[in-house]
């Protein structure tokens, strides 16, 4: 029987880590993810798990140590936020190109500056082209579920890529909410033992990890890595299907909420999408056909699938909790707009930057946004296509 | 109980407002409610004004914004009345609870014309008498449970006893003091 509990997002992911019991966790603390290494080191100290916890001196070192452990053949993970992820930058690319299925529990927080500790997706979005799989959560339940599914996708022989499981800093990581947990033995059976095909500690097969590749071979290596990313789409779906059998919870590459017959759609990522659902219910009660597409898997990017799901919409607001300083909108806006263009979408599209540095977003903000979409559907996009929500004037 | 109860806590860093909000979420969860308990984070330090929130509902809670139109407001530190707009958005059919030793007439002028109910409790007196130290959050927690009718107060006391027993298994004297603070607060709030 499923276990009804209440816990914060950080507690939930730490509990998932405990159930998975990975081999090695090097970590360096940073708000708001600090509780993750804190809780896990408690589990270790109390003998609940036999994970090797390594308190390192920086995030550059935590990712390096995770890579060393993973290359040796261990199941490795770390956790971080914001500037901590930025300090891992060099290593992120090496982990992905070395095809090391490391898990990184990321608690989203904006990158400095101005210095701020609150939620924004600029940290993980900055790493979107580093070759890592990325999966996002709306709440503590999804953060927990995503972590339990993480290694199954990352370690799959058709994928073999590191995975970032992301949740919103404070809003999800520090809020206590209801959650349904899965029994230890079911989780253990679902995740299984890690059996790497190639690893450094295998004396039968001497090998090098991360050597220089001459131009004659380097491009092929990169193309092979891209194939792993493309293959991950199907693996995410297959793993989710299996996960449904032990949890009763259904996951896809994205979630559609009242999108079937929607004329106006919001597309976005993370905790604010729960708030959008309440706005949709209120609008539907008034006969307004509002719907939501919530992105779960951002890498690989399910552009074609999302464009197909949005095919019936007249006006779409693509939401970015991130300013990419391109002068042309945010990352989700740019990528989804291009996918919609390729799908020959006729919808009017706006790209909305919101929630930077923890700026709150309310039900009425979404209600107003849907009102704007209804106007745009009739009169077209009047002002700039790329705009801000909740900005003080 | 209302279908959804929203509570906003105003306190100062170190007074335990966040802990009280999380404890309320705990006990409400234990009686089968859907709950949220969360603080609003900034550059926290001892003594700085902080805000924490609770949503308690019979249905799944999906909203992840702060609370702007609360049913109830708890003011853990009365000096905040002068610097924070504590009644902002507070529903008129709700109530505000203030920790003070003053009579209500002296508090009303600070409430910006709020027409709902005002409750007061001297949490300092309760805490000093029950615990010998000033921890206002436990009395405030008991008082808001009584006022909001979020749950039956007997059930609340049972849940709190079980939870504190677990938490302070090695310090029975802390358990006793806290239980006394809760009992006294249920009596003293007016």
- Enumerate the domain spans of chain A: 3-247, 254-388
| Cα–Cα distance, B65 to B8 (Å, whole number) | 12
Taking the CB of residue A312, how many other CB atoms lie within 10 A of it?
15
Please tell me if the domain spanning A3-247 has the same topology as the one spanning A254-388: yes
On whether the CB atoms of residues A82 and A322 are closer than 8 A, the answer is no
CA distance B78 to chain A (A): 26
Residue A195: how many other CB atoms lie within 10 Å = 8
CA distance A368 to B94: 27
Cα B66 to Cα A177, A294, B9, B11: the distances in Å are 14, 21, 11, 16
A24, A221, B54 from A89: Cα distances, Å = 20, 20, 38
pLDDT band at B44 (very low <50, low <70, confident <90, very high): low
Q: What mean pLDDT comes out for the span A192-220? A: 95
By the CB < 8 Å criterion, does A331 face chain B? no
- Percentage of residues in chain B having pLDDT higher than 70: 98
How far is CA B31 from its chain centroid? 18
Cross-chain residue pair B64–A176, CB shorter than 8 Å: no
Instruction: Kindly identify which residue of chain A lies nearest to residue B62, measuring between CA atoms.
Output: A274
pLDDT band, residue B1 (cuts 50/70/90): low
pLDDT at position A214 over 80:
yes
Structurally, at CATH architecture level, domain A254-388 sits in 3-Layer(aba) Sandwich (3.40)
**pLDDT tens-digit series, residues A313-367:** 999 999 999 999 999 999 999 999 999 999 999 999 999 999 999 999 999 999 9
Q: Do A360 and B65 touch (CB under 8 A)?
A: yes
| Mean pLDDT (whole number) for A81-89 | 98
Query: Other C-beta atoms within 10 Å of A22: how many?
Result: 23
Residue B41, pLDDT above cutoff 80: no
Percent of chain B with pLDDT over 90: 86
Q: Yes or no: is domain A3-247 CATH 3.40.50.970?
A: yes
**B4-188, superfamily in CATH?**
Pyruvate-ferredoxin oxidoreductase, PFOR, domain III (3.40.920.10)
User: pLDDT digit string (tens) for A174-188?
Assistant: 999 999 999 999 999
Where do we find the tokens 């809003």? A171
**A161 CB-near residues (< 8 Å, 6+ apart):** A96, A99, A101, A131, A132, A133, A154, A225, A228, A229, A232
With cut-offs at 50, 70 and 90, classify the pLDDT of residue A19: very high
**CA gyration radius for chain B?**
16
At A249, is the secondary structure helix, strand, or coil? coil
Residues 6+ away with beta carbon under 8 Å from A311: A343, A345
Q: Which of B29, B41, B61 sits opposite A118 (nearest CB)?
A: B41
Q: Which two tokens stand for residue A167?
A: 């949740």
pLDDT for A220:
97
DSSP class per residue in A349-392 = EEEEE--GGG----HHHHHHHHHHHHHHHHH---S-SEEESS--
Q: Decide if pLDDT at B45 tops 80.
A: no
Contact B35 A139 (CB under 8 A): no
Distance to chain A for B64, nearest Cα, Å:
6
Six-digit token pair at A224?
């092979």
Interval A89-128: pLDDT, tens: 999 999 999 999 999 999 999 999 899 999 999 999 999 9
Side-by-side strand order, sheet with A386-388: A254-257, A290-295, A264-268, A315-320, A348-353, A386-388
Environment class of A325 (CB within 10 Å of its CB; exposed 0-12, middle 13-18, buried 19+):
exposed
Convert the pLDDT of each residue in B123-157 to its tens digit: 999 999 999 999 999 999 999 999 999 999 999 99
Exposure letters B111-147 (e unless 16+ CB within 10 A, then b): beebebeebbbbbbebbeebbeeebbbbbbbbbbbbb
Q: How far apart are CA A131 and CA A99, in angstroms?
A: 9
Is residue A383 pLDDT above 80, yes or no? no
Cβ of B64 under 8 Å from any chain A Cβ? yes
Structure tokens that stand for A385 in this block: 């296509």
Task: Answer for the pair A158, A30: CB distance below 8 angstroms, yes or no.
Answer: no
Q: Residue A384: pLDDT above 80? A: no
Give A123-141 pLDDT, tens digit per residue.
999 999 999 999 999 999 9
Chain A nearest CA to B61, separation (Å): 8
Question: What beta strand segments (E) does A76-192 contain?
Answer: 77-80, 103-108, 133-136, 163-168, 176-181
Tell me whether strands B95-99 and B117-121 are parallel, antiparallel or unpaired. Answer: parallel
Least confident of A40-44, A174-178, B44-48: B44-48
Q: Percent of chain A, pLDDT > 70?
A: 100
pLDDT at B46: 83
Q: Are A6 and A178 in contact (CB under 8 A)?
A: yes
């Amino acid at each position: 029987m499923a276990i009804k509990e209440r816990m914060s997002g950080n507690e939930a992911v730490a509990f998932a880590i405990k159930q998975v019991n990975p081999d090695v966790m090097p970590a360096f603390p940073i708000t708001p993810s600090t509780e993750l290494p804190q809780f896990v080191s408690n589990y270790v100290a109390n003998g609940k798990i036999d994970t090797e916890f390594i308190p390192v001196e920086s995030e550059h070192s935590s990712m390096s140590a995770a890579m060393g452990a993973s290359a040796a053949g261990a199941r490795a993970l770390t956790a971080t936020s914001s500037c901590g992820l930025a300090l891992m930058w060099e290593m992120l690319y090496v982990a992905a190109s070395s095809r090391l299925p490391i898990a990184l529990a990321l608690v989203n927080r904006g990158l400095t500056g101005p210095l701020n500790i609150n939620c924004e997706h600029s940290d993980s979005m900055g790493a979107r082209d580093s070759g890592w799989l990325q999966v996002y959560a709306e709440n503590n339940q999804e953060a927990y579920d995503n972590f339990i599914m993480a290694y199954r996708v990352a370690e799959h022989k058709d994928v073999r890529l590191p995975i970032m499981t992301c949740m919103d800093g404070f809003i999800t990581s520090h809020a206590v909410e209801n959650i349904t947990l899965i029994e230890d033995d079911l989780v253990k059976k679902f995740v299984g033992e890690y059996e790497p095909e190639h690893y450094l500690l295998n004396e039968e097969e001497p090998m090098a990890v991360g050597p220089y590749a001459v131009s004659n071979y380097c491009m092929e290596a990169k193309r092979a890595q891209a194939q792993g990313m493309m293959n991950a789409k199907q693996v995410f779906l297959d793993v989710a299907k299996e996960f449904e059998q032990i949890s009763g919870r259904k996951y896809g590459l994205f979630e559609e909420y009242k999108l079937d017959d929607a004329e106006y759609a919001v597309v976005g990522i993370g905790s604010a999408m729960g708030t959008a659902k309440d706005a949709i219910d209120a609008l539907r009660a008034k006969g307004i056909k509002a719907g939501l597409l919530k992105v779960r898997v951002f890498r690989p990017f399910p552009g074609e699938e999302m464009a197909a799901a949005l095919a019936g919409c007249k006006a779409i607001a693509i939401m970015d909790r991130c300013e990419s300083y391109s002068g042309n909108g945010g990352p989700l806006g740019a990528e989804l707009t291009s996918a919609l263009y390729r799908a020959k979408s006729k919808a009017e599209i706006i790209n909305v930057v919101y929630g930077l540095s923890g700026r709150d977003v309310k039900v009425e903000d979404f209600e107003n946004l849907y009102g704007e979409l209804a106007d745009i559907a009739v009169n077209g996009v009047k002002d700039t296509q790329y705009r801000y929500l909740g900005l003080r004037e | 109980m209302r279908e959804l109860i929203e509570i906003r806590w105003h306190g100062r860093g170190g007074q335990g407002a966040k802990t009280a909000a999380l404890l309320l979420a705990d006990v409400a969860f234990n009686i089968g409610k859907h709950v949220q308990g969360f603080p609003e984070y900034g550059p926290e330090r001892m003594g700085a004004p902080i805000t924490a929130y609770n949503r308690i509902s019979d249905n799944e809670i999906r909203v992840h914004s702060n609370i702007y139109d609360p049913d109830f407001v708890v003011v853990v530190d009365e000096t905040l009345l002068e610097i924070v707009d504590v009644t902002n958005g507070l529903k008129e059919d709700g109530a505000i609870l203030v920790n003070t030793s003053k009579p209500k007439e002296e508090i009303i002028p600070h409430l910006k014309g709020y027409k709902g109910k005002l409750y007061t409790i001297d949490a300092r007196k309760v805490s000093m008498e029950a615990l010998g130290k000033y921890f206002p959050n436990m009395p405030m927690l008991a008082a808001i449970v009584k006022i909001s009718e979020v749950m039956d107060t007997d059930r609340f006391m049972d849940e709190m006893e079980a939870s504190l027993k677990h938490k302070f298994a090695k310090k029975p004297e802390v358990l006793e003091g806290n239980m006394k603070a809760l009992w006294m607060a249920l009596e003293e709030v007016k």
